[in-house]
Amino acid sequence: GAVVSQHPSRVICKSGTSVKIECRSLDFQATTMFWYRQFPKQSLMLMATSNEGSKATYEQGVEKDKFLINHASLTLSTLTVTSAHPEDSSFYICSAQPSGVSDNQPQHFGDGTRLSIL
C-alpha cells in the first residue's frame, strides 16, 4: 500500500520550456503533498507544501512564480517549472501524506523526476 506515482521520470528540454511534473497517490488520499529538490550527493530540500484546495506554502528562497504548484484533488499535485533554465536542472521528488487516518502519518515518496535543461 501507500504507493505514490510520479511522472515523468526524466525530462530533457530546451531552455525556456515549461515543464509539468505530476504526483499521484494511487491507493490513498492525500490532503497534503510535498515537493523536494535534491542535488547530487545531498539530502532532500523541501521546496513547498501543497495543500488540496488552497495555495501552496513555499519555503524561503523558493520562487512561487517559477515553481507553480496545483493540488486540484486529493490524489494529484502538479509542479510546473516555468521557463526552465539550466540552473533548474535537478532531481525533483514529491511525497504524499495519507489523510484521514491520524495526524502523524509518514510521507511516502514518488520515484523522482530527473530534469535536464539544455
Partner 1 sequence: GQQLNQSPQSMFIQEGEDVSMNCTSSSIFNTWLWYKQDPGEGPVLLIALYKAGELTSNGRLTAQFGITRKDSFLNISASIPSDVGIYFCAGQRRGGYQKVTFGIGTKLQVIP
Residues of the shown chain interacting with partner 1 in the complex, contacts defined by CB under 8 A:
2, 4, 6, 32, 34, 42-46, 49, 51, 57, 59-60, 91, 93, 95, 97, 103-104, 106-112, 114
Least distance (Å) from partner 1 to the CB of residue 16?
A: 26
β-bridge pairing 90-97 and 108-109: antiparallel
Return the number of the residue (17 or 99) whose C-beta is nearest partner 1.
99
The sign of the torsion formed by the CA atoms of 63, 110, 55, 100 equals negative
Residue with cell 512561487: 64
- Closest approach of partner 1 to the CB of residue 20, in Å: 18
With b for 16 or more beta-carbon neighbours within 10 A and e for fewer, the 44-60 pattern comes to eeebbbbbbeeebebee
- 63 vs 111, beta carbon nearer partner 1: 111
